[in-house]
Amino acid sequence: MENGETQVWLNVALACRYITIETFAALDSKCEEISKLLNFMINNRAKFA
């Protein structure tokens, strides 16, 4: 995934209790959506040229 590093840091932040589970869930959900959008753009380059 293109945003894998962000998801790793979210997991670290949760494990270290820097963020709550609610914050993690919200940000992780946004991360997943961004990943889907990036993958769509990569797989459909001609639409974005």
Single-letter amino acid code for the residue at 36: K
2-29 pLDDT tens trace: 688 999 999 999 999 999 999 999 999 9
What pLDDT was estimated at residue 3? 81
- The Cα 33–Cα 49 span in angstroms is 22
What is the pTM (predicted TM-score) of this model? 0.80
What pLDDT was estimated at residue 49? 83
- The Cα 2–Cα 38 span in angstroms is 7
Provide the residue ranges of all domains of the chain, joining segments of one domain with +. 4-44
